[in-house]
Structure 1
Amino acid sequence: MSKDITIAVVEDDENLRFLVAHRLQAEGYKVVQTSNGNEAEELIIQQMPAVVLLDWMLPGKEGIDVCESVRKAGFENIIIMMTAKSQDVDKIDAYSYGVTDYITKPFNMDVLVAMIENKVRFFLPKNNDVYSFGNTEHHPNIHSLVRDGRKIELTILENRILLYFLQNVGKEITREQLMEVVWGYSSNVNTRTLDMHVVRLRKKIETNPDKPHYLQTVRGLGYKFVDSEEQE
């Protein structure tokens, strides 16, 4: 069954690239591939795949540099880094380069497929929906807020967090739920990191971030997004 979604596989190990590409094609994805960092950059910008599976160590240009470069060029889709490095410090650092998530080699193909399906379900914009709350509009496709005619940029993670809340207004969301949605299938990010992103998001959406009107804390559980008209 065709899913009409293109995945770029960027991996210099020929056997692994073949195995991954073959499995993804069997799952109904369209696959484009390369083994070189410089070629990958061109391929990603030209083809705009929905998902990029990007090896950390590549000839030509390292995966992390490719990631940073295509993000700067405006590529906003999913980038999953394939890496033999499993230290948490690398993972957190890589988020600052714009990596969506990680999978550590050697990985199980079923886990990779499940991770991709999770990302595609949650992160790919379905359409050009715009969400409104108070005097603010959220444009998830361009990772931005618009308030009083002024554009406020959101980070990729802030964008995801806000989108999930706006799709679930009034519902109490646990931290675990939120982390699953924001970081995905194999997340091992701690709750402090999540809370830090929520604090930053509040600074962009609240009149008084210390007394949040919209993004409220639910003690001992997580958060809730309240969209009532009490806001001036």
Structure 2
Amino acid sequence: MSKGVKILIVEDDENLRFLVVHRLQAEGYEVLEAADGEIAEQTIMSAQPDIVLLDWMLPGKQGAEVCENVRKQGFENLVIMMTAKAQDVDKIDAYNFGASDYVTKPFNMDVLVAMLDSKVKFIVNKDTSEIHRFGSMEHHPNIHTLFRNGKKIELTILENRILLYFLRHPGKVINRDELMMVVWGYNSDVNTRTLDMHIVRLRKKIELNPDNPQLLQTVRGVGYRFNSSQTS
């Protein structure tokens, strides 16, 4: 059954592209494909896919450049970077070129499908992009941006993932292992100190007083919870 969602796969590895295309078609997605950056850019602007799965390393134009260019031309739909190394995620953040999210290769096809399905729920159920409001803030996850009283605050991809997970599970105590799985993925080897460091950075962006957090609270010995009833 068709999901009514169009996905563009941009991948120069023919075998991997073939596998992803066929699996997503079997899942009911309308799938387009491109093997290099130039064609990808043209296809994104002409076909306006709902989701772009964009390889980080491409012949011609790199994925980062493609993403940055289409963002400048007004493309606002989801762009998910496919990267070979989890370490590259920090580079993705550093470039800050407008990717919505990322997945690390090699990826488990079931994990990829589950990730896309969770995003599609929000595309299909809402005419507009997913937006979360709390206190005086608005979170726009597709463009990993926060607005506080209309003022724009940029989030890195990892901060965006962490905040989005909390906003989708308000009030729930989330342990560190669950959070690391959601943020870095099933094949990740990050440690809890790395997670805690990202939480500290995120608090600086969302809390009025990061040293005494009212929104993103630590639950000692377990993990964290998001206190959505708290106004900021």
TM-score bracket for this pair, using the shorter chain length: 0.7 to 0.9
Cα deviation, residue 214, structure 1: 1.1
Equivalent positions of 1:1-232 (< 5 A) are: 1-70=1-70, 75=76, 77-81=78-82, 83=84, 86=85, 88-97=86-95, 98=99, 100-104=102-106, 111-122=108-119, 125-126=122-123, 127=126, 128=128, 130-228=131-229
Q: Determine the C-alpha separation between the residues in 1 that align with 2:72 and 2:20.
A: 27
Q: Which amino acid aligns with 1:49?
A: P
Q: Which runs of 5+ in 2 are unaligned?
A: none
Cα deviation, residue 75, structure 1: 4.3
Q: Determine the C-alpha separation between the residues in 2 that align with 1:194 and 1:119.
A: 23
Q: Determine the C-alpha separation between the residues in 1 that align with 2:13 and 2:118.
A: 28
Cα deviation, residue 30, structure 1: 1.0
Q: Determine the C-alpha separation between the residues in 1 that align with 2:193 and 2:76.
A: 28
Q: Determine the C-alpha separation between the residues in 2 that align with 1:90 and 1:130.
A: 27
TM-score scaled to structure 1, two decimals?
Answer: 0.77
Contact conserved, 2:78 with 2:142, CA < 8 A, in 1?
no
Q: Which amino acid aligns with 2:91?
A: D
Cα deviation, residue 115, structure 1: 1.8
Q: Which amino acid aligns with 1:133?
A: F
TM-score scaled to structure 2, two decimals?
Answer: 0.77
Q: Determine the C-alpha separation between the residues in 1 that align with 2:153 and 2:46.
A: 27
Q: Which amino acid aligns with 2:133?
A: S
Cα deviation, residue 221, structure 1: 1.6
Q: Which amino acid aligns with 2:222?
A: L
Cα deviation, residue 32, structure 1: 0.6
Q: Determine the C-alpha separation between the residues in 2 that align with 1:170 and 1:82.
A: 32
RMSD: 3.1
2:171 match: secondary structure: coil
1:8 match: secondary structure: strand
Q: 1:206 to 1:95 in 2, by over 3 A?
A: closer
Larger CA deviation: 119-128 vs 58-67:
119-128
Q: Percent identity?
A: 55
Contact conserved, 2:54 with 2:81, CA < 8 A, in 1?
yes
Rg larger in 1 or in 2? Answer: 1
Q: Deviations over 1:75-103 (max 9, x none)?
A: 451414154xx4x5445434434461211
Q: Which runs of 5+ in 1 are unaligned?
A: none
Larger CA deviation: 140-149 vs 27-36:
140-149
